[in-house]
Chains A and B, each alone.
Chain A
């Protein structure tokens, strides 16, 4: 009965921008790639995101940010994860991110950044290779 372990992903949109399309596309795409995706909707506070991630025991948090405030929003999420001793949960970021910010985000601890237009398969392949199969 060695059922393959399901990878769980939280797709969250922090910040105030109201563009949900990208997050939707990613959520559905990851479902179709076989992940269990928990979608929590727009305008999430840092605390809401981190609490949801912990309660759902996700392997990955995917932040979809189109507001331009990706660095500060992401930093807040990473800080709150540390605060709640959950920094082992992998964080990835998707959105419109200039390359110099990508470097900053990775230095902060973001595992990967996917700029707008990245095919979903690139995201799902990355998650699968980054999460130990147990």
Chain B
């Protein structure tokens, strides 16, 4: 094979960008050998800090990500960006347009940007995102930004793979924070009101503060709320400093990490068990038999699954 896994992994050790890009493609495509490759990459990881950026469509996440990355590079960091956009459920294709707002940083050599489609991989997306983060980490990127639009459960799950999550809100949506789906606000470690060059930012800030004062228990530190204008490059320095600040609550971080590791093990296990069971069923043809049994009304899906699991156990 032209680009063997070993060669690509050697490539990322040598900071070869093409090797990293190719490695990401092959892992994302789940080509044979990807898990072994990730096993080899894993010991090279653990140094990067990962920040999730989410919020409603058009809130300025990409423009903001661009400015954050530029500021980080100015401060001597090397940055990886993962910009996630949805795949079309009809064609399986995707239009990945986040780069459009990041043009000015394409040629900054400390910054690597990768667009990623959701590919309808229920749950699998999170694992793919974790893998891409690790490859960038192994390459030596010390800050990784992952942008996803905060609309679906999947997207929320992805940003949870980050160490810290920032939720981007904007003024002028009438009901301020209501515009953001339930489930998104809860994961914020930091709130950003972008487009603060427009009227209404203070109102949104007041809404968020009010919400926080209602919900937060007194023990934890309330997440910071910041105003920015990515367009006018205002508030970026403060935002980057807040992001880089060490989390106040290390105990909470540890709990979060435990949950993350557990979730990753379970999700890898789930897919692996499913894959193995399914391949046995398919190879033996019993899956097709079962389908026809249900069609002929001699059995039902519940019974079939129960029997199949029993058979599998006794193998």
* A interface residue numbers (CB < 8 A to B): 1, 3, 5-6, 8, 27-28, 30-41, 44-45, 47-48, 51-52, 54-57, 85-86
B31, B94, B114, B275: which contacts A37 (Cβ < 8 A)? B94
| Chain B, Cβ-Cβ closest to A48 | B106
Instruction: Tell me the nearest residue of chain A to B106, going by C-beta.
Output: A48
B273 to chain A, nearest CB (A): 13
Residues of B within 8 A of A (CB): 17-18, 21-22, 24-25, 29-31, 87-88, 90-97, 99-100, 103, 106-107, 112-115, 117, 119, 275
Other CB < 8 Å A-B pairs besides A31-B91, A39-B97, A39-B99, 11 of them?
A1-B30, A6-B117, A32-B88, A32-B90, A34-B91, A37-B96, A47-B107, A52-B113, A55-B21, A55-B113, A55-B114
Chain A: interface secondary structure? mixed
Query: A56 is contacted by which of B21, B29, B91 (Cβ under 8 Å)?
Result: B21
CA distance A30 to B88 in the complex (A): 11
Q: Could you tell me the distance in whole angstroms from the C-beta of B204 to the nearest C-beta in chain A?
A: 29
Whole-angstrom distance from the CB of B18 to the nearest CB of chain A?
Answer: 6
Docked Cα-Cα span, A57 to B103, in Å, equals: 17
**Complex CA distance for A91 and B112, rounded to whole angstroms:** 22
**Which B residues touch A44, using CB under 8 A?**
103
Q: Contacts A1-B275, A3-B30 hold; do A40 and B99 have CB atoms under 8 A apart?
A: yes
Please name all residues of chain A whose beta carbon is closer than 8 Å to the beta carbon of B275 when the two chains form the complex. 1
Instruction: Please indicate the chain B residues that have their CB under 8 angstroms from the CB of A47 in the complex.
Output: 106-107
The reply to whether A33 and B93 form a contact with Cβ atoms under 8 Å apart is yes
Q: Which residues on the A side are within 8 Å of B115 (C-beta)?
A: 36, 38, 56
